[in-house]
Amino acid sequence: LVDLRYGGDERFSILPTVEDLDSFDLDTALAVFTERFSDADDFVFGVAGDFEVDEIEELAARYLGTLPTVDGDESWVDVQPDPPPGVVTSTVAAGTGSLGGVTFLFVEEVPLDPVTTLEAAVLEQVMNQRLTERIREQLSATYSPTAAVDVLGEPDAVIEVYIDVSADPAGLDAVSEAILDDLADLRANGPTTDELAIAQEQLIREFELISNEIWVDTMLFYLSNSDEDPNDVNRRIARVAAVTRQDVRELARQVVPGDHYIEVRLVPAS
């Protein structure tokens, strides 16, 4: 899947080659560490928990404020390949046993804003409901269906939709057809009233749960994205409750088109 998505670009390879490992030693590791961590002037830190602000500020000045910095500005270069055009399919024979799988990946450029991000979260919930109900319960063909709808702002504003279903290799055609049929239905009709209500309830419950980790992640996001409004955190529940079936349908039309995706099937090698 990664090779098809990125055209075999070695910068996006998940696993290093034997040659990569052979060429990597302690000197190389130290050089990479020094190059990447010798300039802390653009680092972002977030702290959450039960503490006195004055104490944290003192500790930050003492430890974070003394980290090394280097004069000059850094910039980045977009080296990420565009996704391949059209529909790309591949079958991979690997492993043993009786388990196979179907994986879909959609990558679409979409104008992003806080409302679209929440609509994407609703779409993810709806898709997982459908995978569970139809693929697992009706077809009885899978152990762990999952869908993820990821909103990515860099290097391009895109939404990636990832669907993965493990199943009997003999039933992969039926599973693939069922997934594509469900996506076509979402594009045409959107979720049902019940599907939308369940998705909204699940997300609202998630937003009502707060932890230090969530606060740190939230702070880091807004500190790193100064053009975003931190008050959007307080608007999430109302915005999720306002999402309509038509909103989800329109987003599905944009991010899970029927003519642009990658499909990979896994079958046992023996």
Q: Report pLDDT digits (tens) over 256-266.
A: 999 999 999 99
Structurally, the chain folds into a number of domains equal to 2
- Identify whether residues 91 and 57 lie together within a single domain: no
- Identify whether residues 32 and 100 lie together within a single domain: no
- Which band of pLDDT confidence, cut at 50, 70 and 90, is reported for residue 17? confident
Phi-psi region of 218 (alpha: psi -120 to 50; beta: other; left: phi over 0): alpha
For residue 222, the Cα-to-chain-centroid distance in whole angstroms is: 18
- Identify whether residues 199 and 254 lie together within a single domain: yes
Rounded Cα distance, 38 and 35, in Å:
6
- Identify whether residues 190 and 247 lie together within a single domain: yes
pLDDT at residue 140 in the model: 67
Long-range contacts (CB closer than 8 Å, 24 or more residues apart) made by 65-73 = 67/40, 67/43, 68/38, 68/39, 68/40, 69/39, 69/40, 69/41, 70/38, 70/39, 70/41
Closest CA to 1 of 95, 136, 107: 107
- Identify whether residues 50 and 170 lie together within a single domain: no
What residues does 265 pair with on adjacent strands? 91, 102
pLDDT at residue 231 in the model: 93
pLDDT at residue 225 in the model: 86
3-state secondary structure 174-197: HHHHHHHHHHHHHHHHCCCHHHHH
Examine the fold and report which residue of 64, 97, 118 is the final residue of a domain before the chain moves on. Answer: 64
- Identify whether residues 46 and 121 lie together within a single domain: no
Pairing between β-strand 261-267 and β-strand 87-93 as defined by DSSP bridges = parallel
Position 24 in a domain: yes
Domain carrying residue 53? 2-64
Q: Are 39 and 70 in contact (CB under 8 A)?
A: yes
Position 209 in a domain: yes
Position 60 in a domain: yes
- Percent of the chain predicted with pLDDT > 70: 99
- Higher pLDDT: 174 or 241? It is 241
Pairing between β-strand 100-109 and β-strand 158-167 as defined by DSSP bridges = antiparallel
Position 73 in a domain: no
Residues near 44 by Cβ (< 8 Å), separated by ≥ 6? 220, 223, 224
Position 155 in a domain: yes
- Identify whether residues 118 and 218 lie together within a single domain: yes
CATH assignment at residue 161: 3.30.830.10
Tokens coding 23? 């060429």
- Identify whether residues 251 and 188 lie together within a single domain: yes
- Identify whether residues 160 and 122 lie together within a single domain: yes
- Which band of pLDDT confidence, cut at 50, 70 and 90, is reported for residue 143? low
- Identify whether residues 258 and 135 lie together within a single domain: yes
- Which band of pLDDT confidence, cut at 50, 70 and 90, is reported for residue 102? very high
Rounded Cα distance, 158 and 151, in Å:
6
Rounded Cα distance, 265 and 169, in Å:
9
- pLDDT averaged over every residue in the chain: 92
What is the pTM assigned to this prediction?
Answer: 0.89
